[in-house]
Structure 1
Protein backbone atom coordinates (compact mmCIF):
# COMPACT_ATOMS: atom_id res chain seq x y z
CA UNK A 1 0.00 0.00 0.00
CA UNK A 2 2.89 2.37 0.69
CA UNK A 3 4.21 1.84 -2.83
CA UNK A 4 1.00 3.24 -4.33
CA UNK A 5 1.27 6.28 -2.07
CA UNK A 6 4.62 7.12 -3.71
CA UNK A 7 3.37 6.59 -7.27
CA UNK A 8 0.36 8.92 -7.10
CA UNK A 9 2.36 12.15 -6.55
CA UNK A 10 4.77 11.11 -9.33
CA UNK A 11 1.95 10.55 -11.81
CA UNK A 12 0.35 13.85 -10.83
CA UNK A 13 3.62 15.69 -11.27
CA UNK A 14 4.23 14.15 -14.68
CA UNK A 15 0.69 15.00 -15.79
CA UNK A 16 1.10 18.62 -14.66
CA UNK A 17 4.45 18.88 -16.48
CA UNK A 18 2.95 17.47 -19.67
CA UNK A 19 0.01 19.89 -19.47
CA UNK A 20 2.31 22.88 -18.95
CA UNK A 21 4.52 21.79 -21.85
CA UNK A 22 1.45 21.50 -24.07
CA UNK A 23 0.28 24.98 -23.10
CA UNK A 24 3.75 26.39 -23.83
CA UNK A 25 3.87 24.79 -27.29
CA UNK A 26 0.35 25.97 -28.09
CA UNK A 27 1.13 29.53 -26.93
CA UNK A 28 4.31 29.72 -28.97
CA UNK A 29 2.73 28.30 -32.11
CA UNK A 30 -0.30 30.60 -31.95
CA UNK A 31 1.63 33.79 -31.19
CA UNK A 32 1.01 35.04 -34.72
CA UNK A 33 4.50 36.34 -35.32
CA UNK A 34 5.78 35.84 -38.86
CA UNK A 35 9.39 36.71 -37.95
CA UNK A 36 10.60 35.39 -34.59
CA UNK A 37 13.71 37.60 -34.73
CA UNK A 38 17.31 36.76 -34.11
CA UNK A 39 20.07 37.83 -31.75
CA UNK A 40 23.00 39.65 -33.36
CA UNK A 41 26.22 40.70 -31.64
CA UNK A 42 27.30 44.26 -32.48
CA UNK A 43 30.10 46.23 -30.81
CA UNK A 44 30.21 43.86 -27.84
CA UNK A 45 26.44 43.97 -27.25
CA UNK A 46 23.81 41.40 -28.12
CA UNK A 47 20.80 42.90 -29.86
CA UNK A 48 17.44 41.40 -30.85
CA UNK A 49 16.78 42.15 -34.52
CA UNK A 50 13.29 41.63 -35.90
CA UNK A 51 10.56 39.80 -34.06
CA UNK A 52 7.17 40.83 -32.76
CA UNK A 53 8.35 43.26 -30.09
CA UNK A 54 6.98 46.75 -30.60
CA UNK A 55 9.41 49.33 -29.16
CA UNK A 56 6.43 51.50 -28.14
CA UNK A 57 5.36 48.79 -25.67
CA UNK A 58 8.73 48.68 -23.87
CA UNK A 59 9.45 50.78 -20.79
CA UNK A 60 11.83 53.70 -21.31
CA UNK A 61 15.50 53.29 -20.47
CA UNK A 62 16.73 54.91 -17.25
CA UNK A 63 17.83 58.52 -17.73
CA UNK A 64 21.02 58.21 -15.67
CA UNK A 65 23.73 55.70 -16.31
CA UNK A 66 26.42 54.52 -13.94
CA UNK A 67 30.06 54.57 -14.91
CA UNK A 68 31.40 51.11 -15.73
CA UNK A 69 33.43 49.39 -13.05
CA UNK A 70 37.18 49.28 -13.45
CA UNK A 71 38.56 45.88 -14.45
CA UNK A 72 38.83 43.61 -11.43
CA UNK A 73 36.33 45.62 -9.32
CA UNK A 74 32.72 44.89 -8.54
CA UNK A 75 30.01 47.22 -9.86
CA UNK A 76 28.58 49.69 -7.34
CA UNK A 77 25.33 47.75 -6.91
CA UNK A 78 27.28 44.72 -5.59
CA UNK A 79 29.22 46.70 -3.01
CA UNK A 80 27.75 47.10 0.46
Structure 2
Protein backbone atom coordinates (compact mmCIF):
# COMPACT_ATOMS: atom_id res chain seq x y z
CA UNK A 1 0.00 0.00 0.00
CA UNK A 2 1.20 3.47 -0.80
CA UNK A 3 2.04 5.67 2.08
CA UNK A 4 0.37 9.07 2.17
CA UNK A 5 2.64 12.09 2.40
CA UNK A 6 1.91 14.52 5.13
CA UNK A 7 1.73 18.24 4.48
CA UNK A 8 4.47 18.89 7.02
CA UNK A 9 6.96 16.83 5.02
CA UNK A 10 6.41 18.91 1.89
CA UNK A 11 6.73 22.13 3.88
CA UNK A 12 9.95 21.00 5.54
CA UNK A 13 11.53 20.24 2.16
CA UNK A 14 10.69 23.70 0.82
CA UNK A 15 12.17 25.36 3.90
CA UNK A 16 15.48 23.52 3.58
CA UNK A 17 16.08 25.18 0.21
CA UNK A 18 15.72 28.63 1.75
CA UNK A 19 18.78 28.30 4.01
CA UNK A 20 21.37 28.13 1.20
CA UNK A 21 19.56 30.92 -0.65
CA UNK A 22 19.56 33.16 2.43
CA UNK A 23 23.24 32.37 3.09
CA UNK A 24 24.12 33.28 -0.49
CA UNK A 25 22.25 36.56 -0.37
CA UNK A 26 23.75 37.43 3.02
CA UNK A 27 27.29 36.75 1.83
CA UNK A 28 26.71 38.80 -1.35
CA UNK A 29 25.49 41.74 0.73
CA UNK A 30 28.48 41.44 3.08
CA UNK A 31 30.99 41.32 0.21
CA UNK A 32 29.34 44.30 -1.48
CA UNK A 33 29.57 46.27 1.76
CA UNK A 34 33.23 45.35 2.14
CA UNK A 35 33.94 46.49 -1.42
CA UNK A 36 32.29 49.88 -0.83
CA UNK A 37 34.16 50.33 2.46
CA UNK A 38 37.47 49.52 0.76
CA UNK A 39 36.87 52.05 -2.01
CA UNK A 40 35.86 54.74 0.48
CA UNK A 41 38.99 54.11 2.57
CA UNK A 42 41.32 54.39 -0.43
CA UNK A 43 41.56 58.20 -0.03
CA UNK A 44 42.54 58.97 -3.63
CA UNK A 45 42.58 62.61 -4.67
CA UNK A 46 40.70 61.87 -7.87
CA UNK A 47 40.09 59.21 -10.47
CA UNK A 48 43.08 58.15 -12.53
CA UNK A 49 43.23 59.07 -16.22
CA UNK A 50 45.48 57.87 -18.99
CA UNK A 51 46.59 60.79 -21.16
CA UNK A 52 48.02 60.01 -24.61
CA UNK A 53 50.95 62.15 -25.69
CA UNK A 54 52.89 62.05 -28.95
CA UNK A 55 54.65 58.74 -28.38
CA UNK A 56 53.64 57.57 -24.90
CA UNK A 57 50.75 57.27 -22.47
CA UNK A 58 50.91 58.90 -19.04
CA UNK A 59 48.90 58.03 -15.91
CA UNK A 60 47.58 61.17 -14.20
CA UNK A 61 45.90 61.16 -10.77
CA UNK A 62 44.65 58.21 -8.79
CA UNK A 63 46.35 56.44 -5.90
CA UNK A 64 49.40 55.23 -7.85
CA UNK A 65 52.27 57.48 -8.79
CA UNK A 66 54.46 56.81 -11.81
CA UNK A 67 57.39 55.92 -9.57
CA UNK A 68 55.43 52.93 -8.17
CA UNK A 69 54.92 51.39 -11.62
CA UNK A 70 57.45 48.91 -13.00
CA UNK A 71 60.03 50.34 -15.36
CA UNK A 72 60.02 49.27 -19.00
CA UNK A 73 63.08 48.67 -21.13
CA UNK A 74 61.66 50.33 -24.21
CA UNK A 75 58.77 50.24 -26.63
CA UNK A 76 57.60 47.13 -28.37
CA UNK A 77 56.20 47.02 -31.87
CA UNK A 78 52.51 46.21 -32.08
CA UNK A 79 53.07 42.93 -33.95
CA UNK A 80 55.80 41.58 -31.65
CA UNK A 81 55.25 38.34 -29.74
CA UNK A 82 55.35 38.33 -25.93
CA UNK A 83 58.72 37.43 -24.46
CA UNK A 84 57.70 34.02 -23.13
CA UNK A 85 55.69 32.84 -26.16
CA UNK A 86 56.82 30.31 -28.74
CA UNK A 87 56.32 30.87 -32.46
TM-score normalized by the length of structure 2: 0.59
Match of 2:18 in 1: 7
Unmatched runs of 5 consecutive residues or more in structure 2: 1-11
Distance verdict in 2 for CA 1:9–1:36, change over 3 Å: same
* Corresponding residue to 2:78 among 57, 68, 75: 68
The alignment of Structure 1 onto Structure 2 pairs a total of residues equal to 73
Q: Structure 1, unaligned stretches of length 5 or more?
A: 70-74
Moved over 6 A (4+): none
Say if 1:51 and 1:5 are closer, same or farther in 2 by CA, change over 3 A.
same
Cα distance between partner residues in 2 of 1:56 and 1:12: 43
How far the C-alpha of 1:25 sits from its partner, in A, is 0.6
Query: Per the alignment, in what secondary structure is the counterpart of residue 56 of structure 1?
Result: helix
Bigger-Rg structure (1/2): 2
Task: State how far apart, in whole Å, the 2-side matches of 1:59 and 1:76 are.
Answer: 20
